[in-house]
């Protein structure tokens, strides 16, 4: 269960603040992701990184800046937080097989509440 | 991005009955189709997946079928149990292969 870990689990903050979420995987995967799950449970891809390189940036505001210091870590920094950023953010990782993602393993999620 | 449509949004069955959830996708380049189960407050967990070179896959009470021509895939759960109650998501890989597009989820309730 600690294969993909995220910190913190809960984050409550005021509008306008800057916050970071950290993610680590110990599965040896080469690809990591950030997904956003909104209040209606819709899961949407935000970013995808392969071997520390940004592959997917799915029309996310530039207030969101992911950083991958190495293959095992993908952090998410959010500037100038807005009410609409309130959601659960999931990190995930996978290995690429035959040019496509294999099973994606999700972290426990970070519930962000912006007041 | 390309869409994945999932139906129904809610499904209530009696214990022991079967449950079927259907998805359609629009990206003809999609070649990987996983199904995830998410219990309240927990992370999504893979329950079964299928690749485009296979039409059907089964794992005990769970099966998935894929019709690439029609761009449909379905999840079948037989002999449902109360612990099967959760939100189920279908997904399809995007063209580059580097992410998944998810359906909007089906909330399954299995009543004893």
pLDDT per residue as tens digits for the range A56-87: 888 789 999 999 999 999 999 999 999 999 99
Of A42, A103, A109, the CB nearest to B49: A103
Residues of A in Cβ contact (< 8 Å) with B42: 108
Asked if A76 and A88 count as a contact pair (C-beta separation under 8 A), the reply is no
Residues of A in Cβ contact (< 8 Å) with B45: 106
> Mean pLDDT in chain B?
94
Would you state the pLDDT for residue A21? 98
Other C-beta atoms within 10 Å of A15: how many?
A: 11
Would you state the pLDDT for residue A99? 72
**Quick one: pLDDT band at residue A55, thresholds 50, 70, 90?**
confident
- Using the Cβ of A7 and the Cβ atoms of chain B, whether some distance falls under 8 Å is answered with no
Cα B51 from Cα A102, distance rounded (Å): 10
Question: pLDDT above 90 covers what percent of chain B?
Answer: 86
B97 CB-contact burial (10 Å; exposed 0-12 / middle 13-18 / buried 19+): buried
Phi-psi region of A48 (alpha: psi -120 to 50; beta: other; left: phi over 0): beta
Would you state the pLDDT for residue A1? 52
Residues of A in Cβ contact (< 8 Å) with B51: 100
For chain B, residues with pLDDT lower than 50 are 1
Q: What angle do CA B28, A36, B11 make, to 5 degrees?
A: 70
Would you state the pLDDT for residue A98? 72
Would you state the pLDDT for residue A19? 97
Cα B58 from Cα B49, distance rounded (Å): 9
Would you state the pLDDT for residue A73? 96
Of B38, B89, B98, the CB nearest to A48: B98
Residues of B in Cβ contact (< 8 Å) with A57: none
Of B97, B99, B102, the CB nearest to A99: B97
- Using the Cβ of A39 and the Cβ atoms of chain B, whether some distance falls under 8 Å is answered with no
Question: Is there a contact between A104 and B45 if contact means CB atoms under 8 Å apart?
Answer: no
């Amino acid at each position: 269960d600690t294969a993909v870990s995220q910190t913190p689990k809960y984050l409550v903050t005021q509008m306008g603040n800057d916050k970071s979420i950290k993610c680590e995987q110990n599965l040896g995967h080469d690809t990591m992701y950030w997904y956003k799950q909104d209040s209606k449970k819709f899961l949407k891809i935000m970013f995808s990184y392969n071997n520390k390189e940004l592959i997917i940036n799915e029309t996310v505001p530039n207030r969101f800046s992911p950083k991958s210091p190495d293959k095992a870590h993908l952090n998410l920094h959010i500037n100038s937080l807005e009410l609409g950023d309130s959601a659960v953010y999931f990190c995930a990782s996978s290995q690429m097989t035959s040019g496509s993602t294999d099973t994606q393993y999700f972290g426990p999620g970070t519930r962000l509440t912006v007041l | 991005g390309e869409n994945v449509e999932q139906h129904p949004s809610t499904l209530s069955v009696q214990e022991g009955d079967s449950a079927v959830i259907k998805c359609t996708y629009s990206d003809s380049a999609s070649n990987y189709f996983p199904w995830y189960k998410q219990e309240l407050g927990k992370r999504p967990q893979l329950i079964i997946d299928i690749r485009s070179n296979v039409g059907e896959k089964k794992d005990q009470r769970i099966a998935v079928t894929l019709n690439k021509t029609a761009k449909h895939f379905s999840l079948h759960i037989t002999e449902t149990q109360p612990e099967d109650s959760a939100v189920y998501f279908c997904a399809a890989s995007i063209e580059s292969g580097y992410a998944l597009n998810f359906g909007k989820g089906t909330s399954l309730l299995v009543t004893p």
